Amino acid sequence: MIGEKWARRISALVIMSGFVYSIYLLGHVQDEVFYSCDGGIKALLVKQYCQKGFGVTLDIEAQEWVKEIWDQGFYPFHPPFVYELDKGYVSSFPIFLAALTAFFYKPFGLYGLYVIPTASLWALWIMFRQVAQRLDLREEIVAISLAVMVFASPLTLYGAMFWEHTLGVLLTFCGAAFLLTYREKKCRGRGLVCGILAALSVCFRSEALVLVAAYAVLSIYLYLRHDFTNARFFLVGMTLGLAGLLLFNTQAYGHPLGVHSLQVLEDYSLLGDFGARLRILQALLTGLFQSFQVLIFILIYMPALYFARRRETTSAHAHIAFICAFFVLGVPFVLPGIGGKQWGPRFLLPLIPLFCLLIGICLRRLLDQPAKCVKYALLSIFVAAFGLGVYRNTIQGSVHLAEDYNLRVKPALDFLRQSDGVCAVVVHQEIAQELAGAFETTPMFLARSDSELESLTNTLSRNGIRKFLLLTYPTDGIAIGPDYSPGARMNVNEFGIVGSYKIFQLELSKGGLSPN
């Protein structure tokens, strides 16, 4: 084995390499272009908070005639992304990320949107190293575990996305860090703070509520079985954090669970939805194995840990295994779906640092294995899985992210910005979300059917708008229809495929207004 001093330098070098890699990924981001379509709505909230201050409603700057048409049913956003409540339009996404990001967006502009995702990722790596050291993992094993998390998992890519996932993972890991090092004494204050931070993760990611429940169960177990009295302070911290969130949601949205209650709890039936929840679980696990191949090594070797003689090894890996199993089985029941467009199952990202700790524990035990054939066979499996993970996430993931930022949305966004303020009509709200960066120059409306498009055309005409752009996905195969064919009611000019969208220009012919 290499010396501890050099091993410490290697683990620090892994983190520094991660910093460089993260900065490289940030070099691909484009102004007002986001990996997830809902990033457009969150960016609108950030701008709103910079200009008008904090508020729960989404108030898009637009002329009065545009807002009047929105109120007639042509608002560009609909459930499950935006809900219309008594107080106005409300985003279903956590507004706390937008509120915090507003502090960085004002001085740093585009890159201010990525300060929290990237800084959270970096802080997670540093905290992971400290926790692994407290679990008595050798420094070379800490370095390997860090390398898995940085380069062989999907988590690093999310540091270059305007999303709240890395912050949510950091906060949830605070709870795990405290519970896994519970033998440390005089940690009442740390327990209280870690409990509050773990509970605050629910403010950013609703699935974190399942992890909080797992932490509560494990805390009670450690208190009763191992006389871990400081678990009381951890539980108090989580209670305070959750109570504050529930109070805020009740005050702001009229429901303790906030807008998430509209997504998941409306018409919710546990027995009736059980089959759907199983399908969500299957999809999540399939995506996890496809994006985090090192998990195969854990599943092959971890059963051997139950025969370990060292109590500290057994308890640490058993507690992590309990948290992971509790979360995997419970999270499908709080999710509205499998996550849409993502790189790896984003709802399972909080498990990545826990899995990496398990990898470290497994490697520590494996390297002490006297049977060389078994040792080298399992190490070969680990190396192969690690290589697949690096190829999938670092190599393919980097290429995918760069292409997504430069080719998917940006061409159409530039097209709209150069269209001299011509109105745009979209047939899917996801298109409006992805192109939300053009709202300042391009009024945008949603028409989801031919009848809505007909009605919107007439409404625009009555407001003096006889020409507008129509954006669809190329796979829609949308036909303008006989009433909209050239030479009849509408003159149609097709611009073809621009980025990910098919764009038409429709101009109402003289006398073409239908009588409705």
Domain ranges of the chain: 4-29+112-258+270-406, 412-508
Give the burial class of 270: count Cβ atoms within 10 A of its Cβ; 0-12 exposed, 13-18 middle, 19 or more buried: exposed
Residue 219: predicted pLDDT: 93
Residue 273: predicted pLDDT: 74
* Contact between residue 450 and residue 425 where contact means Cβ atoms under 8 Å apart: no
Higher pLDDT, 465 or 483: 465
**CA of residue 448 relative to chain centroid, distance:** 27
What is the pLDDT confidence band of residue 372, given thresholds at 50, 70 and 90? Answer: confident
The residue-averaged pLDDT of 97-122 equals 95
What is the pLDDT confidence band of residue 476, given thresholds at 50, 70 and 90? Answer: confident
Structure tokens at 283: 């999809």
**Is pLDDT above 80 for 450?**
yes
Give how far Cα 95 sits from Cα of 52, 249, 430, Å. Answer: 15, 11, 19
Residue 515: predicted pLDDT: 41
**Is pLDDT above 90 for 225?**
no
The residue-averaged pLDDT of 65-84 equals 93
Residues 152-161: tens digit of each pLDDT? 999 999 999 9
Give how far Cα 404 sits from Cα of 37, 410, 431, 476, 500, Å. Answer: 11, 9, 15, 20, 10
Higher pLDDT, 187 or 475: 475
Residues 58-68: tens digit of each pLDDT? 999 999 999 99
Cα–Cα dist 333/270, whole Å: 8
Higher pLDDT, 420 or 445: 445
Residue 304: predicted pLDDT: 66
Residues 241-289: tens digit of each pLDDT? 999 999 998 888 888 877 766 666 555 555 557 888 899 999 999 999 9
Q: Which amino acid is at 300?
A: I
Give how far Cα 24 sits from Cα of 401, 406, 417, Å. Answer: 11, 15, 27
Residues 382-400: tens digit of each pLDDT? 999 999 999 999 999 999 9
What is the pLDDT confidence band of residue 510, given thresholds at 50, 70 and 90? Answer: low
Structure tokens at 46: 């950030």
Residue 59: predicted pLDDT: 93
Report the range of poorest mean pLDDT among 26-30, 181-185, 401-405, 504-508.
Answer: 181-185
What is the pLDDT confidence band of residue 420, given thresholds at 50, 70 and 90? Answer: confident
For residue 207, give every residue at least 6 positions away whose Cβ sits within 8 Å of its Cβ, in sequence order, or none: 331, 334, 335, 347, 350
What is the pLDDT confidence band of residue 309, given thresholds at 50, 70 and 90? Answer: very low
Neighbours of 183 (CB within 10 A): 12
Q: Mean of the per-residue pLDDT values for the chain?
A: 88
Residue 349: predicted pLDDT: 97
Higher pLDDT, 115 or 367: 115
Residue 316: predicted pLDDT: 83
Higher pLDDT, 318 or 69: 69
pTM, rounded to two decimals: 0.92
Higher pLDDT, 175 or 183: 175
What is the pLDDT confidence band of residue 186, given thresholds at 50, 70 and 90? Answer: low
